[in-house]
Each structure stands twice: as structure tokens, then as C-alpha cells.
Amino acid sequence: MADFQGLRDQLSKARGASESARQQLYAEKQTGQRLDAEIAALDRSFDPHNAAQVAERKRDLIQANYVYKADVDALRRLMGADLTPEMRAKVGPLLEKAK
């Protein structure tokens, strides 16, 4: 019986972590949309003939894109969204048994 309680607690923690990851993923998507809006605003004031502006902008965009993708990938792994359908088919029954 203690095993069952332990498994139920683990499942509850995993579900909580999954929900937290979903909320974080939503927040990251909102951040991505905000960054897109900021980029659009910068586009309006951008001077493509200014080499310093071009270099700075390119560097900032590459850095922001890298951080954004790394955060989203980490959240997807945390919530299991990176699993293939085949892997989900294998893991799903195990989680159902833990209930």
C-alpha cells in the first residue's frame, strides 16, 4: 500500500510539473509575440545603410532567437511534448498503471 501512495504522490508531482511547464510555455510564447512586435517597431526605424546598426541588430536577433528557442525546447522536454507518438504509446500505459 505504501508503494501505491508513493506512486500516486509521484504522479501528482509530475502532473503539477507538467501544468507548470504548460504555463511557462504559454508565457514564453507570449514573450515571443512581444519580441516580434518589438522587432516590427525596430524595422520601422531601421536604417539598412548604417553598418553599425545592421551588425548590432543581427547580433541581438541571433542572441534573442537562441535564448528563446532554448527556453521553449527545455519546456517541451519538461512536459514531454518532444516525445514521438511511438514513445508516448510506450510511456502512456505506465502512467495509467501508476494512477
Whether 21 shows a pLDDT value over 70: the answer reads: yes
- pLDDT, residue 97, reads 57
pTM: 0.44
Confidence bin at 18 (pLDDT 50/70/90): confident
- pLDDT, residue 95, reads 56
DSSP state of 80: T
Q: At what angle do helices 2-45 and 85-98 cross, to 10 degrees?
A: 140
Whether 99 shows a pLDDT value over 60: the answer reads: no
User: Rounded to 10 degrees, what is the CA torsion of 15, 20, 26, 29?
Assistant: -120
User: Distance between CA 68 and CA 78 in Å, rounded?
Assistant: 15
